[in-house]
Amino acid sequence: MPELTVGELAALCGAELEGDADRVVTGPATLSAAGPRDISFLSHPRYVRQLERTAAGAVLVAREVARPREDLVLLRCEDPGSAFSSIVSAFAAPLPGPEPGVHPSAVVDSTVELGEGAAVGALAVVGPGSRIGARAVIHAGALVGAGVVIGEETEIHAGVVLYAKVSVGSRCIVHSGTVIGGDGYGFEPGTAGWVKVPQCGTVVVEDDVEIGSGCTIDRGRFGPTRLGRGTKLDNQVHLGHNVEIGERNLIVAQVAVAGSARTGEGVVIGGQTGVAGHVEIGSGARVAGQSGVYGDLEGGRDYQGSPAQPQKDELRRKAGSRKVPALLARVRELEKRLSDLEERLSR
């Protein structure tokens, strides 16, 4: 890692420096693990005791945080988390990848259009009629089918499979093991068993999308399955056929969205949530993890539970359910008292 002064890092993230600007740090670390040559950050006031004890050479904090020790160098800013991300990037060395051009072991059809500075790694396959944008990177062992379009500066990691006619925009990242454009899950009952429904559509991934490892995004039955600009998928997310994900969505691991469901802009879906087919989640909605979405959700609200409902209602329901054992015991006591009273009155 490079060596940078605290003053250089303060200038990098626009922070106000309090302490020795010439102190040298060599990398990022957590407050508890940091040493004198590390830089860290205070993410939440609940960790302020760690700030008092940390051995870090410098710490990013919010502007209102008190300086607990004179020897502690602070970088004050509005958003320490975001500022720390820019500092981590300054220390992070880029991961190795293929050099521009086509590796000798790669199989690239003669009809492929390869943009300036694009790279195709070892044992990768690029099918006929595909277009690879300038400075795009296809890592080792990736499979790009026929007629695929990949935009400029997009990175397709090792082992990714892009089925024929899939489109991936510019500045996207697709992580290892993801499959885009496989058949949607469609079957109809027939006299001899289940009959496969043809899946003739495609997948369109717009610009600035990041897709985690092990995701599966099915092609549309007809028309596209679509991921909106700026959307970020965690690992192991499944999107069914003709799903339409809006711009700037954040979808956490192990979410499954059934066919033809739609989300608006800025939707957040927590991990292990299931979304039923043909429902619509409005812009700005936030769905807590392990929820079940079976009907349309209005935008701009927080939801939780299965079936998902406004979070305040779900929290009230859970609070009420915790009282059930005591209420049952009370009912049994009252029943006994009533039985005793009826017995005395009948004598």
The pLDDT score that the predictor gives to residue 1 is 63
**Percent of the chain scoring above 70 in pLDDT:** 100
Note the pLDDT tens digit of each residue in 191-204: 999 999 999 999 99
Euclidean distance between CA atoms 9 and 73, whole angstroms: 12
Give CATH superfamily name and number for 4-91: MurE/MurF, N-terminal domain (3.40.1390.10)
Closest CA to 215 of 242, 181, 179: 179
SS3 of the chain: helix, strand, coil, percent, to 5:
20, 30, 50
Euclidean distance between CA atoms 48 and 43, whole angstroms: 9
Euclidean distance between CA atoms 282 and 243, whole angstroms: 14
C-alpha distance from residue 195 to each of 131, 191, 192, 220, 345 (Å): 35, 9, 8, 17, 71
Predicted TM-score (pTM) of the model is 0.84
Q: Where in the chain is the domain with CATH 3.40.1390.10?
A: 4-91
Q: What is the mean pLDDT of residues 32-49?
A: 87
Euclidean distance between CA atoms 105 and 325, whole angstroms: 67
Q: Where in the chain is the domain with CATH 2.160.10.10?
A: 101-311
Note the pLDDT tens digit of each residue in 98-134: 999 999 999 999 999 999 999 999 999 999 999 999 9
241 carries an active-site annotation: yes
- Which H/E stretch holds residue 292? strand 292-293
CATH 1.50.10.10 fits 101-311, yes or no: no
Q: State the average pLDDT for the chain.
A: 93
Catalytic residue among 44, 175, 241, 278, which?
A: 241
The pLDDT score that the predictor gives to residue 46 is 83
Structure tokens of 185? Answer: 């899950």
Note the pLDDT tens digit of each residue in 203-256: 999 999 999 999 999 999 999 999 999 999 999 999 999 999 999 999 999 999
Euclidean distance between CA atoms 121 and 96, whole angstroms: 11
